[in-house]
Amino acid sequence: MGAAGVQPRLQGPIPSSRTAPVVFVVDDDISVRESLELLIRQESLSVEAFASAQEFLVHPRPRRPSCLILDISLPGLSGLDLQKRIAVERPDMPIIFITGYGDVPKTVQAMKAGAVEFLPKPLTDSVVLNAVRNALERSRTILAHEDEIRDLQARYTVLTPREREVMHLVASGLPNKIVGSELGISEITVKAHRGRVMEKMKAQSLADLVKMASRLRQVRTQESRRAGAALPPGPR
C-alpha cells in the first residue's frame, strides 16, 4: 500500500478505552494484515487483526464504535458468510470489503447485503483511511440511535397499561373527549393520564409524544420482521 495522499490525523481529546473506536481486520494474507495494522495505528486508532473469520468470531467485540475490514475471499468461513453473521449480531459494525479483480460477482452479492465500501487490491493508504473514517462515523451514528431507542423503551416500560393506551390514542390524533369515550373513562381522567404520560416519557409537547410513539412502532415492526426471518421454514 502506498502512502500518497494520506490526510493528517485529527487532533483532540483521547477517548477512554471503553468508547475509543476500534478497527477489526480479517485477512488470511499476513502481509495485508500487517500493512493495515501499521497504517491504522499511525492514525492513533486501535486495530485488531485476525487470519480467519472463525478467529474473529471467538474474539470479544465490546459495544463501541467499530468497523471491519474484511477480505471477501477467505478460506473456510467466507467473507460473505461472516457478513451475514455480523448483520445479525452487530449491525452497528460497518464492513469494508477488500476484493481482488476476479471477485465481481461476490462484490455485487456483498453490496446487496449492505457492505459500505469495496476496496480493490492493491490497497491505497488514503482510500483505506477515508473508508475507515466514514465507517467509524456511521458506527457512532448507529450506536447513538440505538442508545436513544433503548432510553425511549426504558421510559415506555414504566407506563401503566392504561397510560400506554392513552399515549397511543392521543398520539394518533384523537382529542381527549374521544379518547375517554374509546376507553370508557372521563375526559378529566384522560387529561390526568396524559399528563403522567408526558412526564414519564419526558415529552416536551404533543408533537414530541407523536414522534416517540412512531419510533416505538417502527422498532416493534423491525423486531417482528427479524423474528420472522429467523424462524425456520415450515413443512411443505
Least confident range of 16-30, 158-172, 192-206, 220-234: 220-234
> What is the domain-level CATH number for residue 166?
1.10.10.10
Q: Check residue 120 and give its pLDDT.
A: 84
pLDDT value for 176: 95
Q: Structurally, how many domains does the chain consist of?
A: 2
Contact (Cβ atoms closer than 8 angstroms) between residue 79 and residue 110: yes
Exposure string over 185-198, b if 16+ CB within 10 A, otherwise e: beeebbeebbebbb
On whether the CB atoms of residues 76 and 54 are closer than 8 A, the answer is yes
pTM flag (> 0.75): no
Whole-Å CA distances, 88 to 24, 83, 225, 231: 17, 9, 12, 14
- Considering the chain, what is the average pLDDT of its residues? 85
Pair 36, 135 in one domain: yes
Same domain for 31 and 133, yes or no, is yes
Q: Is the pLDDT of residue 34 over 60?
A: yes
Domain assignment present for residue 16? The answer is no
**pLDDT, mean of residues 136-149:** 93
Q: Could you tell me the three cell numbers for 37?
A: 495494522
Query: So what's the pLDDT on residue 8?
Result: 37
Express each pLDDT in 162-194 by its tens digit: 999 999 999 999 999 999 999 999 999 999 999
> Are both 62 and 114 inside the same structural domain?
yes
What is the rounded CA–CA span in Å between residue 29 and residue 33? Answer: 6
Q: d(Cα 39, Cα 47) in Å, to the nearest integer?
A: 10
Query: Residue 1 and residue 39: Cα distance in Å, rounded?
Result: 9
- What is the pLDDT at residue 4? 40
Same domain, 120 and 30: yes
29 and 57 in a single domain? The answer is yes
In a domain, 12, yes or no: no
Summarize the confidence of residues 39-46 as an average pLDDT. 95
Q: What is the largest CA-CA distance in the chain?
A: 73
Higher per-residue pLDDT: 150 or 115: 150
Pick the closest to residue 185 from 169, 209, 201 (CA basis): 169
Summarised one tens digit per residue, pLDDT across range 70-85 is 998 888 898 888 988 9
Among 65, 77, 68, 29, CA closest to 48: 68
Structural domain for 83, as ranges? 22-144
Domain boundary among 109, 144, 179: 144
Same domain, 36 and 100: yes
Residue 60 lies in a domain: yes
pLDDT band of residue 233 (cuts 50, 70, 90) is low
Same domain membership, residue 140 and residue 31: yes
Within a domain: residue 129?
Answer: yes
Clarify whether residues 39 and 138 are in a common domain: yes
pLDDT digits (tens, 9 = 90+) for 98-114: 887 556 555 555 555 55
pLDDT of residue 220: 84
Is residue 163 domain-shared with residue 130, that is, in the same domain?
Answer: no
CA distances (Å), origin 2, targets 7, 27, 129, 226: 13, 19, 12, 42
